[in-house]
Amino acid sequence: MLTRKQHELLSYIHDKLAETGVSPSFEEMKDALDLKSKSGVHRLISALEERGFLRRLPNRARALEVVRMPDVKVGTASPPKAPVSAPQPANDVIELPLHGRIAAGMPIEALEGQSTLPVPAALLGPGEHYALEVAGDSMVEEGILDGDYALVRKADSARDGEIVVALINEEEATLKTFRREGSMIRLDPANRNYDPQRYRPDQVRIQGKLAGLLRRY
């Protein structure tokens, strides 16, 4: 069962593909559904994808294919209004809040800023995200390098083995792999030259989980 907004978006994408053969852009979808932001469109698309109604075409930024309509298989409905060609990428981006630099070595102060970072929407999954610039080399064995931009999905808890943004003593933030070790929390680097950091649970507050990386050359 789809929500009203999910059904509206699926019908809009289906009609646009039938008319033009091109996936509508995030901006077009936002306006068509009278949503306040493109992040709302992203959440609806993710939900439709999870339910098997939409498919994102691989290696193409924001190209969408309607797999089926509610109670009707695509292809058994009325013929399209115009010949349908392969969907073209809409190249949508989302402006994520950029909150300064985060240590991938020893913890450093997490800077709160007003700047934003344009990120391809295809890199993000469901949820609310923000970006942090990586400083240091303690996560290089996970492929996280100094100067990369960590794309972080907001969360306040984590499971063992997840890479998290951890706020230490409400002052300093670090990017590490989260582990529980007895009554302590251990934050593991991914560089053999660094030692794990151990804290009491009351010293650590999870602020998000690593969802992706953006690297500029």
Average pLDDT over residues 134-162: 91
CA distance 117 to 130: 9
Say whether 176 is catalytic: yes
DSSP state, 123? G
Of the candidates 16, 38, 176, 209, the residue annotated as catalytic is 176
User: What pTM does this model have?
Assistant: 0.56
Q: Which domains does the chain have, with CATH numbers?
A: 4-73 (1.10.10.10), 93-214 (2.10.109.10)
C-alpha torsion 166→169→171→172, nearest 10:
-40
Whether the predicted pLDDT of 139 surpasses 60: yes
Q: Amino acid identity, residue 11?
A: S
Average pLDDT, the chain: 80
Say whether 138 is catalytic: yes
Kind and range of the H or E run holding 188: strand 184-188
Beta strand residue intervals within 104-168, DSSP E? 108-109, 116-120, 129-135, 149-153, 163-168
Of the candidates 16, 23, 30, 138, the residue annotated as catalytic is 138
Q: Using an 8 Å Cβ cutoff, are 41 and 31 in contact?
A: no
Which is more confidently placed, 180 or 80?
180
67, exposed or middle or buried, with CB in 10 Å at 0-12, 13-18, 19+? Answer: middle
Tell which residue, 200, 153, 167, has the closest CA to residue 181.
200
pLDDT digits (tens, 9 = 90+) for 16-54: 877 777 778 888 888 888 888 877 888 888 888 888 888
DSSP state, 2? -
Q: Using an 8 Å Cβ cutoff, are 104 and 174 in contact?
A: yes
pLDDT digits (tens, 9 = 90+) for 86-127: 444 445 778 888 887 887 765 655 555 558 888 887 778 788
Whether the predicted pLDDT of 149 surpasses 80: yes
